[in-house]
Each structure stands twice: as C-alpha cells, then as structure tokens.
Amino acid sequence: MTIVRDATLHQRILGDIEARIVSGEWPPGHRIPFEVDLAADYNCSRMTANKVLTQLAKSGLIERRKKSGSFVAQPRAQSAVLAIAEIEAEVQSLRLAYSHVVHAREKRRANASDKQRLELSEAASVLDITCIHHAGPAPFCLEERLISLATVPEAEAETFAKISPGTWLLKQVPWSAAENRISAVSADASVAGLLDIEKGTACLVIERRTWSPAGPVTSVRLTYPGDRHALVAKFAPGGEG
C-alpha cells in the first residue's frame, strides 16, 4: 500500500486507523478502540491516542460520544477544498505573460445596488472598477469590483494601473474572510465584447465578497470564458491528499 515513511507516532496510528476506515474494514458505525486501549495497543500515553482521535473527529471520519466511545461516521456531503489562486499566478502557471487593463474606474456614493452587494447599511463612498486580465494577448478574465472606501480609504488614491485591484487589496487587507459563489452564465453583448468571445458563450462566474474586522471590504465578480477555465477541488477522507 502506501509507503510508511519514518513518521511520528501519532501519524502512524492515524494512518493505521484511516486505512481501516477507508478500506471498509471498519464500516460506518463501527466502534473504535477507546483512548486507553489505543494507548495500550501502541504502548503510548493517552494524550497521543487522544491527539489521533481528535484529529480523526475534526476531519469527519469518526464521531465521538462521551460514555459510548468513538464510532466511524456516516459519510455525508463531501466538502472539497477549492484552491482559488490569484489571477496573475494563475496565468503565470500557464506559462503565459500576464497583464491587466483598467477599463473603467468610478468613485460614487453607494446606490441601492452597491449597498446590497457590499452589505452596507448606510450610504458610503464606493469605488467601482472594471478590469480585464490578459493571458498573453488574449483576454483571460473580466473583473467587476466594488471597494468600500469606508473600510479601505487608501483605495481612492490608487489607480490600479500597475497593480491589479485584487493583488493591491491583498496587501492592504491581508487575511480577510471571504464567501465565493460559483455559477455559470451566458455572456451578454457587453461581456462578450470585453472578453473577445461570441455572445452567448458559457462563462464561469465567481462572485466573491470579502470582510475584514473593520467591515465589508470588497465585492468582486470574475467572469471566465467557460471553455478556457475550470476550477479544481479535491477531497480526501483524511483531510489532505
């Protein structure tokens, strides 16, 4: 099977149990040895056994119930990990030259639509940016972005000519929380023109809203020509591949 590298003790125990669950030897509902028994089996302290079972529970492979023990869980909805890269890195990983052009840039007081997109309660200033990302000579992605100037006032002084809005924001507001919504739409005339594709072409759309502790940061809609782009998400029972 898998090669046993010189792993740490709890990694070895973890691997053993994972293998028995994944192979079906321990089916859903099967009771796993108690912490004290595991510790005895592997001749280790209870903390080490606990570490293993805690990790298995966190990754969803087992369920723990006080007084009853730990049981192999019923597999439910798969939650895959979706890597969403920066557009520049994405283009470069294709070995193509990256560039971007700011197509429109407007500061305004938030209108009703803006407030909804950014989940703003009061009227505030926003920056609306339309930007095309290129891979080599061809358009790669259309970016339509709204930035809350209440949260990121520094954006007003930035033209985004040399640095793309996404990259700039990552430096200004690191570690913000985000929610991504992925859907498919047909390109309308405007989008088709900007991306240099046929009107009606299926496009993959990622809408992302981003918050920092200081408030809403940005709302962005990324439109990719469908035949040129795909997202990949992986799922492994143990948590990582």
Partner DNA sequence: CAGTGGTCTAGACCACAAG
Partner DNA sequence: TTGTGGTCTAGACCACTGA
Q: If binding is defined by CB under 7 A, does position 73 make contact with DNA?
A: no
**Cα–Cα distances in angstroms (integers) from residue 196 to residues 27, 134, 161, 189, 199, in the given order:** 53, 11, 21, 10, 9
CB environment 63-101: b (16+ within 10 A), e (fewer): beeeeebbbbbeeeeeeeeeeeeebbebbeeeeeebebe
User: Which one, 9 or 192, has the nearer CB to DNA?
Assistant: 9
Tell me how many degrees the CA angle 83-86-92 measures, rounded to the nearest 5. Answer: 105
Q: If binding is defined by CB under 8 A, does position 232 make contact with a copy of itself?
A: yes
Query: Taking CB within 5 to 8 Å according to partner kind, which of a copy of itself, DNA, none is near residue 45?
Result: DNA
Q: If binding is defined by CB under 7 A, does position 66 make contact with DNA?
A: yes
Using the rule CB under 7 A, give the single segment among 51-59, 111-119, 137-145, 152-160 that binds DNA: 51-59
Number of C-beta neighbours around residue 241 at 10 A: 7
Residue 109, both tokens: 């007081």
Among 19, 20, 60, 64, binds DNA (CB under 7 A): 64
CB environment 111-128: b (16+ within 10 A), e (fewer): eeebbebbebeeebbbbb
DSSP string, 183-206: EEEE--HHHHHHHT--TT-EEEEE
**Residue 232 CB, nearest approach to DNA (Å):** 28
User: Which one, 13 or 131, has the nearer CB to DNA?
Assistant: 13
Q: If binding is defined by CB under 7 A, does position 35 make contact with DNA?
A: yes
**Residue 72 CB, nearest approach to a copy of itself (Å):** 8
SS3 state of residue 133: strand
Q: If binding is defined by CB under 8 A, does position 53 make contact with a copy of itself?
A: no
Window 174-193: residues binding DNA (CB under 7 A): none
Window 78-107: residues binding a copy of itself (CB under 8 A): 78-86, 89
Site residues (vs a copy of itself, CB under 8 A): 1, 19, 21-24, 27-28, 61, 74-86, 89, 170, 173-186, 200-205, 212-214, 224, 226-227, 229-237, 241
